[in-house]
Structure 1
Amino acid sequence: MKKYYLAYGSNLNREQMGYRCPNAQPVGTVQLESWRLIFRGSGTGNYLTIEPAPGYSVPVAVWAVTKADEAALDRYEGFPVFYRKETLPITYTGLKTAQERQVEAFVYLMNDGHPAGLPTTRYMDTCEVGYRDFGFDPEALLGARAYTREVMALERNEG
């Protein structure tokens, strides 16, 4: 049985997903309303996550994944220690048919307590390729980086 997975960062990159999850199939795209991209991290680096934010939206790809694909994603995302999973009801637009379909899909959200931080150039490049793979405007990544800088300044001032 296939499940639906929402990708918004490096897992938009089709080549990378092909290595990690060889059975995964991209099936559609959707704008997640009332969410915002931000980079947060740990000692190993800073990565994208999404956080609730009225008035914002995040472009995401919808992948159909197998149980083995989900297990590979769990390992890659550091589930459940680094990222947790939540299920969201979505209506996506199909890549092949452009028809809308309602499904429930899981998404990885970084666990609370990780500070905002800037990503490596390599990670940004990987995400940008993914954005282009799905026809998303890569400016959203630059916006996320600028927003992350603002949050970093706020966190420094609070600390």
Structure 2
Amino acid sequence: MKKRYYIAYGSNLNIRQMRMRCPSARIIGTSEIPDYELIFKGSKTGSYLTIEPKKGSWVPVAAWEVSAEDEQALDRYEGFPTFYYKKEMLLPIKGIRSGKIRPRNTFVYIMHEDRVLGVPSNFYMQTCLSGYKSFGFDPKFLHEAYDRSREVER
């Protein structure tokens, strides 16, 4: 079965969580999505991370190699296609082991844009922060997204 490359920017950066959800998934590297920003949006069940276009911004991401079964588990978790849709992106992935940069066709989940801004639960925020720490990403991206979602609440 052909493997695909999935790009994670939120709670799926949490390695322990991904190991449970997608047991055969393998971390292959990291990258950045240019001209996008992180933002918290949601529904009655809670607020979660998504990405939206913003010129000059960028979002740190981890790339996972996933099987068809893993992708189906991700589809269920992300509420695809109702809550999130998938977008294909060609990104330069820096290998975890080799450090070499290779272009890869990847897919990413993006929340439907009509969802409203909202503040995430503390648990969700901690799950994302743990993932950021694992990959050595600057948590300022999460804190800035959190601050933007709170501004709308006021």
TM-score, normalized by length of structure 1? 0.94
Cα distance in 2 between the residues matched to 1:47 and 1:123: 8
Report what 1:136 is aligned to: 137
Report what 2:106 is aligned to: 105
Structure 2 counterparts to residues 111-130 of structure 1, below 5 A: 111-130=112-131
Q: Deviations 1:82-128 (Å, cap 9, x if unpaired)?
A: 00000001111000000001111000000121100000000000000
Cα distance in 2 between the residues matched to 1:148 and 1:38: 7
Q: Deviations 1:116-156 (Å, cap 9, x if unpaired)?
A: 00000000000000001111111211011112223x25xx8
1:18 deviates by 0.2
Local SS of the residue matching 1:97? coil
Report what 1:30 is aligned to: 31
The residue type paired with residue 117 of structure 2 is A
Report what 1:45 is aligned to: 46
Question: For structure 1, which runs of at least 5 residues remain unmatched after alignment?
Answer: none
Cα distance in 2 between the residues matched to 1:142 and 1:112: 21
Question: For structure 2, which runs of at least 5 residues remain unmatched after alignment?
Answer: none
Cα distance in 2 between the residues matched to 1:106 and 1:67: 13
Structure 1 runs (4+) deviating above 4 angstroms are: none
- Give the % identical residues: 50
